[in-house]
Amino acid sequence: MPRTLRMSSLRLAAAVVAAFALLRGAAAAPAPPPPSRAELVGLVTRTLKSWETGDAAAFTSAFTDDAVWAYPGGRIRRGSFADTFNGLCARKRDIRIYVGDFIVQGAEFAVQYQFAATDRKTGRRWAVGTGVRGMIRDGRIAVIKEYWDEHIPVGQAANTLPLDEGEIFPAPASVVMTGERIN
């Protein structure tokens, strides 16, 4: 057998063995267990509540290095989280976070909360019901997606909508649906 061919065969055999070893390793490595419900609820609640103290480090450290944070207006990666957090804290004061009940399935969760804050310049306050869907990985938040209607804070700041702070709904709790905006 020519030397080159024998060497190729040896390399091929080594590659096959290595590939099998990798496959076995991948198959054998157990997937990390999802967090307990209490752990998940505790982590997400603490993270949301960190807005009240303006603790950017506490907020950002709750997320995985490749985390995605999506909201009406954008979608950002972990590297921009601190700037976004500090940017809001520079514009708002007296932040209050009201957290509702969680729905948890494995590592996924959904929760409703209300984000209330006062604008430092105008003194106007808004309190916005927010729906969140997210996912936990390795004990940290990997995805957080927030849903709210931008009409609500804009209307509250303009005094055309009530605040109803502390009651978690998509629109202020005292607003009854009329036909004006349904689409």
Partner 1 sequence: MRTKPNGRGAIGVLLACGFGLILTAVASPAPGPDDAATFIRTREANRQDFQDPDVREAYPFGRSDPANDKKLAQAGAFDALTTYDGIDHKHFIVEGDRYAVEWLYHATWKKTGNRQAEASLCFAQVRNQLLFRWTEYFDDTVGELQDRHLLPLYGDEKENFPWPGPSKTARIYRP
Segment 87 to 126, residues that bind partner 1, using CB under 8 A: 87-88, 92, 101, 103-105, 108-110, 112, 115, 117, 126
Cβ(59)–Cβ(50) below 8 Å? yes
Beta bridge partners of 111: 102, 132
Please name which of 55, 92, 87 lies closest in space to residue 74, comparing C-alpha atoms.
Answer: 87
Q: Which of residues 45, 64, 84, 118 is near partner 1 by CB under 8 A? A: 84
Q: How far is the CB of 144 from partner 1 (least distance, A)?
A: 11
Among 118, 107, 124, residue whose Cα is nearest residue 40: 107
Site string for partner 1, 129-148 (x = CB under 8 A): xxxxx-----------xxxx
Query: For partner 1, which stretch binds (CB under 8 A), given 4-12, 18-26, 54-62, 84-92?
Result: 84-92
Contact residues for 23 (Cβ-Cβ < 8 A; gap 6+)? none
How far apart CA 46 and CA 32 sit, in angstroms, is: 22
- Cβ neighbours of residue 50 under 8 Å, at least 6 residues apart? 56, 58, 59, 62
Task: Examine residue 73 and tell whether it contacts partner 1 (CB under 8 A).
Answer: yes
CB of 5 to partner 1, least distance (A): 34
**Rule CB under 8 A: is residue 182 a binding residue for partner 1?**
yes
Binding site for partner 1 (CB under 8 A): 70-75, 84, 87-88, 92, 101, 103-105, 108-110, 112, 115, 117, 126, 128-133, 145-154, 157, 169-171, 173, 175-183
